[in-house]
Structure 1
Amino acid sequence: MNRKHLVFIVNPKSGVEREKAIQRAIDNRLDSDIYSYEIQHTEYAKHGTELARNAAANNAFAVVAVGGDGSVNDIVSGLLGTETSLAIIPKGSGNGMARAMQIPLNEEQAIDVINKGNTIKMDIGYANDRPFISNAGVAFDALISRKFAKSTRRGFAMYSWLVTKHMWTYNEWDWDITIDGKHMKEKAFIVCVANGTQFGYNFQIAPDANWTDGLFDLIIINKFPKILSAAIVVRAMTGTLTSSPYVKHYRGKEIVISHPELKLMQTDGDAHQCANKVHFKMVHSAQKVIVP
């Protein structure tokens, strides 16, 4: 019986102990009757995209992204347009994609998901031709993504500190927004185009988003009084953010967001330069993913 081949792609910067834990989990739990495997390592930025593309060209059944949302994005960028599936062993900071897909954060339990092999076809969004899986944004979240990337510390505490530090000095902008041809103006400090439900750390920016419905969920958040900060966070952590009077929720397949001073956007937590306008397009059922 021919076994299906898996390619695990690991960032060696994650540390020796973490890689040993991954190897132990593979040895202990991967079903060797179903799968053969190899482990490959990224050596530079976007190397994961190249490795994933090569794995697909060599007919790998699945590429296993061992890392966070940025690593997953890199690997999906190499798999799009192929028949090779994506699998995830979450080893990042926020792990928004894995949490939203209910993939366990424990290595061995994540491999159990791979053993079962349940696959869906997931939608993929594009922001000015950059693919994204979970979400993209052009306002406050883009700023925080850039600050977090430059920080030497990781984790929820650092992310929360950056949000708290910059939230009250970040001004709302008057945005031009077009959704499926319908134009509107919105004043907001967060403008998020979501395919998945959360940023990470279980902060559910778009609790009603669905990976497979062919639609973006556009979340617009207005500045709110400081006294309501805790209440907004509770709503986000409990999946009720869109019921806040400070939040607006729209859906659409194609979205254009612009502002004369727009220079920064984020896709899946990675910040990028842009110029005045971001064009978001949805591709339905674009990528096979192994999920629980």
Structure 2
Amino acid sequence: MLAVTAADHRSTGPVAVLANPTAGQGRHRELLPRLLARLADAGRPVRLLTAGTPGEAEAACHAAVAAGVGALVAVGGDGTVHRALQAVAGTTVPFGPVPAGTGNDFAADTGFPTDPLAAAGVIAEALRTGRDHPVDLARMTGAAGGGHRWYGAVLAAGFDAVVNERANRMRWPRGRLRYDLAILAELARLRPRRYTLRLDGVAHTLEAVLVAVGNGASYGGGMRICPDADLTDGLLDVVVGGRFDRRTLLRVKPRIHTGTHLTHPLVRRYRARTVELVAEGITTYADGERALPLPVRISAVPGAVRLLR
């Protein structure tokens, strides 16, 4: 009897699906049966993972990969993708994102259709033909054994991270209004912070309001904070917005949607394979998810995930 290799199992093994029914305020929830049926067109068994919390979702993905699934698919937004990436990063298990959230930056930046059913069709075709291709991920490591996280899109470590942290601490109100109130509160106390950046070992000390480290170009549902980032070049794009006052920040923020903020005289852009980022009082957000407190070390990892496209 012939042994089944990892490559053989990838071509025949079941497809595990992580789905977030609350993604995008639940507007795609009724699509899930059709999405599962579309994925089944690949001729593989499709297994829906069960989880009640983000932590359980991540654990379910790790368990599925450890059990030898042939592929992992995430149906949801960037948060759902982020959870799934923790399990497939650095493995041979191919991955497909179905964009069904409020922010779908990783799926968009890697060329998947914005329509969930169309994206599921692309993934099913890739499964059927055995096609996948590698793209980079970023791997962040905390200080003094503080763990590590993978991310696919952008790490926020400035004003946007501070706003997210405040919004997550607020019990009221719910929804977008809570985030808007957090923005107003942080604008009222806006001040540049002192950062130390070590880019491939070269230190830069600066004061800044915005700091983003991009594997991909976008965060926050299409804001092109690192517009020149390339997910296949083995490099991280670092964008720094310097000593903005409130008025300047409010003028520059809309330009981030189109990526034209890089021409502002207070904005700097760097590229590096490794980035060490140090500042006080900042908890980072990666792919929109709460990640590690500074200081962190971030490395670009070429070909860390194989996409079903």
TM-score (normalised: structure 2):
0.82
5+ unaligned residues in a row in structure 2: which ranges?
A: 1-10, 142-147
Which residue of the other structure, out of 135, 138, 152, is the alignment partner of 1:122? 135
For residue 277 of structure 1, what is the aligned residue in structure 2?
A: 295
Alignment of 1:207 with 2:227, yes or no, is yes
**Contact 2:42–2:125 at 8 Å: present in 1 too?**
no
User: Pick from 143, 152, 166: which aligns with 2:162?
Assistant: 143
Q: In structure 1, what residue type is equivalent to 2:154?
A: N
Instruction: Return the letter of the residue paired with 1:218.
Output: V
Q: What residue identity is the alignment partner of 2:299?
A: K
TM-score normalised according to structure 1 size: 0.86
Per-residue deviation, 1:219: 0.6
> Equivalent residues in 2 for 1:206-225 (5 A)?
206-224=226-244
What amino acid is aligned across from residue 162 of structure 2 in structure 1?
L
Q: Is the 1:195–1:210 contact (alpha carbons within 8 Å) kept by the matching residues of 2?
A: yes
Matching of residues 31-70 of structure 1 within 5 Å: 32-70=41-79
CA distance in 1, matches of 2:169, 2:307: 30
- The 8 Å contact of residues 120 and 290 in structure 1, kept in 2 or not, is answered as yes
Q: Deviations over 1:86-107 (max 9, x none)?
A: 1111222222212222323322
1:77 is matched with 86
Cα RMSD of the aligned pairs, angstroms, is 2.6
Q: Deviations over 1:213-259 (max 9, x none)?
A: 11110110024455555652442222222222221000001111213
Letter in 2 for 1:106: D
Contact kept, 8 Å, 1:206 with 1:241, in 2: the verdict is no
**Structure 1 contact 146–270 (Cα < 8 Å) conserved:** no
2:105 aligned residue: 96
CA offsets 1:171-205 (integer angstroms, 9 cap, x no match): 10121111111111111011111101011321100
Q: Which deviates further from its counterpart, 188-197 or 130-139?
A: 130-139
Would you say 1:22 and 2:40 are equivalent positions?
no
Displacement after TM superposition at 1:46 (Å): 1.9
1:127 maps to amino acid:
M
Q: Counterparts of 2:188 and 2:27 in 1: how far apart (Å)?
A: 39
Aligned to 1:133: 152
Query: In structure 1, what is the Cα distance between the partners aligned to 2:308 and 2:252?
Result: 33
8 Å Cα contact 1:94-1:199 kept in structure 2: yes
Q: Name the counterpart of 2:204.
A: 184
- Are the aligned partners of 1:11 and 1:43 in contact in 2 as well (CA < 8 Å)? no
- CA 1:267–1:230 in 2, change beyond 3 Å: closer, same or farther? closer
1:284 counterpart SS class: strand
Number of equivalenced pairs:
286
- 273, 277, 289: which one pairs with 1:257? 277
- In structure 2, the partner of 1:163 is 183
Deviation at 1:66, TM superposition (A): 1.4
1:268 maps onto 2:287 in alignment:
yes
Residue 134 of structure 1 contacts residue 268 of structure 1 at CA under 8 Å; is this kept in 2? yes
Give me the whole-angstrom Cα distance separating, in 1, the residues matched to 2:160 and 2:214: 12
Q: Distance in 2 between matches of 1:16 and 1:244?
A: 38
CA distance in 2, matches of 1:48, 1:281: 25
Deviation, 1:47, is: 1.9
- Please show how residues 228-247 of structure 1 align to structure 2 within 5 Å: 228=248, 231-247=251-267
Q: Deviations over 1:145-187 (max 9, x none)?
A: 22344566445x7655643552352210121111111111111
**Cα distance change on mapping 1:252 and 1:46 into 2, 3 Å:** same
- The change in CA–CA distance for 1:30 and 1:175 in structure 2 (over 3 A counts) is closer
- Pair 50,257 (structure 1): closer, same or farther in 2 beyond 3 Å: same
